[in-house]
Structure 1
């Protein structure tokens, strides 16, 4: 259990007590046992016997103030969020040209767009669990580095299956950074500013979207970017892939050089001195030039109780140790679906599945849909394909496709502004449900329209409204779970979302050439379902983090 004691400043990397770490050797481990007792996590500590004041997490965050540190944090975390958007969405922009050089059918393109989501599914929960156990910052540095390195290496892959593998490994890195970024960022925020600031962080996804679309527009149609690299024909789309890996690598460097560990994580791990130093840095930057000093204070920190003695662990077999590790790794999922967290976890699982299938399934295929509308008609009316690969239509590159992608990406801006202004007054639940319902209607109308201009307008509506859904989910996800489950929960749900994204992209790839109406109408139905299910979620407006 988490215990609020004065920890004399021991800075050893100690973890909160897991259900598998018993205080009493005769205690039996029950299915669904609570990992952390949150009933006293934010109450004041008993300061008897100590002259310095004892602060809870929320009190310490308020004492550190709000200012320059938080804006710097927003820029660094925002750039990391933008880098994830660039890495995910770049595949959709290279499809119209890469399919010629890699000899891709529509099914192959579906596998390619799904590959990064498969990697994100694998990486999401693993990185989230490690972030809850070992720290947010370390996981962010490593996952962003994996993302950037393997994303860049994909540019020189001569064969489709190697390109697919490298994109998958890059996706493992993306799967770690997305959920952890929001957990990390939220744990520095004062309660009354948290909703607006998380929404501001989410707007950087739009920035990454615009950056990817802008780079595709500027680089892919250019013939000067074409040259030979040994036996490899280095087309402009490969240079585009290299450029898309740069944001992830620079984000990893920024986190490594500039950012501290989450003070909430440090407090729960019993590392009081380190947490105090983080609050001191926050105060110093926030009060820059004001001549104020931070008074001495102590913190209510967690106390890690050691598990089984070392000699007991040594005697256990390797199989037993692996079973124990696996059991502990899966324990957060058990807690998410037990007790008071069960209903919200089931609802979030459904919502994440619906929005991920719809958003990624449709968004990754927008450039291809618009290219098929070049001759007029609805996106599902031009199904007569001259050859499986349609090589003759790849070059010269049609610039209009990338211009339209840029316009749709820019249409995120109104939705982001609306979320920042309204999230604290309306709450995440209301925005989530309403935006899903409007998104469902816009997708249904995309299927019905007959002109390219009408489809572009409705696609912009879908883009602007669906971003409100993601922003609301980012806020709700950080507030619905306690610190020791937060990254694991977000990692698990993003993993579920990746499964949905894979299914959406495979469905579009399989049916695009034969019955395009099926995946489009399925997207509309799933978004409608998600909007209705979101109504059962609890309201968390301006709640304290536990």
Structure 2
């Protein structure tokens, strides 16, 4: 395509957003550009990214971020709820420490086995329908799990719930990122990810409200007493239920619509964002049509061989140059972060409960845990499923710090960039994890242990990195693969930490602290923050690969 620069002139316009007015450059609509046939066109065209920039930033983006955040909060509550449920259920289900470790790993195992499929489905059928279906079914299976009479049925229903939970756990990051323009994408993904931290505050609050209750409704046909821990299983699925209702009123991602050839629908979503953000009439939107890139329209595959070919087409490029190094990097870093933050968190309430019940003087965290383990092995303790009040209190305080870290990262990412934040946070939290094992003061040890968990604030940043460096066609698959490796880390971490708590408590802190430090060093290879140039609308002929909206 050739351009005649003398045929148009530039004039400044002001596009409103939530921060005031942003001075952009726009080709004057009254001028025209020559197309290949020498005819004049009179419509203003822009790429999808340029149109997203001109749609502004405001109420629509905030509401969409809150809805996506609710999905993330539901995901983290269901994933980590077992940290509170299993100590309270250990007497009813007659759980050993090893069984608790395996049950804690079941949600992550389900996500590992199915993330690939959900990623392919989201890239071929759409982000929104995948999340709608998966969240609803996950909530239903969680409700069924609350009636499980013994450990096997509880584990199976938990597994089925987690299978569908994985459909939204990774896709939501892509869905959130694709509704924000290039200037605000990193920030909004970070703010949305802060709901993971908020979930770590809500979870102990809800657990504190429910677990101390003293009811036991007998259900003879199941052979169980419906006790508070069963109600907690249902309560942790409520965010998914609410998010499903909200998602019914949300559109499909404009990026996905555009990539699959639904240009009219994509442009309608962009105009809706503009109208909501600026409170202006849709006719005032300066973009009148989208420039259509040369790309093949996406069609849904039919038949087993076609599905396999489609999945292969979505995956193989991720393991070839130039995407292979980024695929390996995002997978490795997510593995380390998830192994540490989720692996330790499922044991966090048990560790805090042991510290709360310790009557001795100043001693290391691992010494307290070893003392409790020896008491159980000597038969000096009976089954006790009560959780100390201070366990909930400390968990809430730590969750508040955790969510604050997410919010701080959200404010800093636009000014500092993802790379420096990832390197600094991961290195500092890794050092804190090693130090938590070495100090004798329990209060300082708990603080360092809490800081160790702050590495989880980098999960959203790594997904923001993936949204930026992977093309739209492979983006959901890339994020699902990296999140799948993260879930592998969660499963490996929860079981290894359970083993280390029995065999060598200190080795767990050394191993995972060092892993996080190595992750920080690998993040040094990430590309630096991209500067987003001022975008201009290009006046182009409707016959020059420009799609006219209906």
**Match for residue 101 of structure 2 among 86, 102, 110:** 110
**Match for residue 299 of structure 1 among 290, 293, 299:** 290
Q: Distance in 1 between matches of 2:103 and 2:426?
A: 27
1:483 aligns with 2:495: no
Output aligned runs, 1:152-171, within 5 Å.
152-171=143-162
Inter-CA distance 165–395: structure 2 relative to 1 (3 Å threshold): closer
Shift of 1:328: 2.5
Inter-CA distance 100–543: structure 2 relative to 1 (3 Å threshold): farther
Q: Distance in 2 between matches of 1:114 and 1:273?
A: 44
Output aligned runs, 1:66-145, within 5 Å.
66-145=57-136
CA contact (8 A) 1:226 1:234 kept: yes
What's the counterpart of residue 438 of structure 1? 428
- What do residues 132-175 of structure 1 show as CA deviations (whole Å, max 9, x unaligned)? 11111111111211221212221111111111111112222222
CA contact (8 A) 1:104 1:389 kept: no
CA contact (8 A) 1:46 1:54 kept: no
Shift of 1:270: 1.0
Q: Distance in 2 between matches of 1:46 and 1:103?
A: 78
What's the counterpart of residue 419 of structure 2? 429
Shift of 1:393: 5.0
- What do residues 385-430 of structure 1 show as CA deviations (whole Å, max 9, x unaligned)? 4259997352443222222222221111331232122111221111
Q: Name the TM-score, length of structure 1 as normaliser.
A: 0.84
**Match for residue 532 of structure 1 among 502, 521, 525:** 521
What's the counterpart of residue 364 of structure 2? 378
1:241 aligns with 2:223: no
What's the counterpart of residue 369 of structure 1? 351
Inter-CA distance 485–543: structure 2 relative to 1 (3 Å threshold): farther
CA contact (8 A) 1:99 1:389 kept: no
Shift of 1:193: 1.4
Question: Which runs of 5 or more residues in structure 2 are unaligned?
Answer: 1-32, 534-550
Q: Secondary structure at the match of 2:218?
A: strand
Inter-CA distance 195–396: structure 2 relative to 1 (3 Å threshold): closer
- What do residues 320-368 of structure 1 show as CA deviations (whole Å, max 9, x unaligned)? x534422431333321121121222222222111111111111111111
Inter-CA distance 390–66: structure 2 relative to 1 (3 Å threshold): farther
Inter-CA distance 92–387: structure 2 relative to 1 (3 Å threshold): same
Q: Distance in 2 between matches of 1:333 and 1:534?
A: 23
**Match for residue 345 of structure 1 among 307, 316, 327:** 327
Inter-CA distance 261–291: structure 2 relative to 1 (3 Å threshold): closer
Q: Distance in 2 between matches of 1:350 and 1:132?
A: 23
Q: Secondary structure at the match of 2:225?
A: strand
Shift of 1:295: 5.2
What's the counterpart of residue 205 of structure 1? 196
Question: Which runs of 5 or more residues in structure 1 are unaligned?
Answer: 1-44, 315-320
What's the counterpart of residue 215 of structure 1? 206
Shift of 1:303: 6.7
What's the counterpart of residue 518 of structure 1? 507
Shift of 1:304: 6.6
**Match for residue 409 of structure 2 among 419, 425, 446:** 419
What's the counterpart of residue 493 of structure 1? 482
Q: Distance in 2 between matches of 1:73 and 1:176?
A: 18
1:471 aligns with 2:460: yes
What's the counterpart of residue 449 of structure 1? 439
Q: Secondary structure at the match of 2:237?
A: helix
Inter-CA distance 306–187: structure 2 relative to 1 (3 Å threshold): closer
Q: Distance in 1 between matches of 2:345 and 2:106?
A: 15
Output aligned runs, 1:303-342, within 5 Å.
305=296, 322-342=304-324
Shift of 1:443: 0.8
Q: Distance in 1 between matches of 2:419 and 2:51?
A: 28
Structure with bigger gyration radius:
2
**The 10-residue stretch of structure 1 (70-79 or 483-492) with the greater mean CA deviation from structure 2:** 70-79
What's the counterpart of residue 398 of structure 2? 408
CA contact (8 A) 2:76 2:199 kept: yes
Inter-CA distance 254–303: structure 2 relative to 1 (3 Å threshold): farther
Output aligned runs, 1:13-28, within 5 Å.
none
Q: Distance in 2 between matches of 1:127 and 1:142?
A: 11
What's the counterpart of residue 286 of structure 1? 277
1:173 aligns with 2:164: yes
Q: Secondary structure at the match of 2:527?
A: coil
What's the counterpart of residue 4 of structure 1? none
Q: Secondary structure at the match of 1:386?
A: helix
CA contact (8 A) 1:440 1:527 kept: yes
**The 10-residue stretch of structure 1 (341-350 or 201-210) with the greater mean CA deviation from structure 2:** 341-350
Q: Secondary structure at the match of 2:170?
A: helix
Shift of 1:384: 0.8
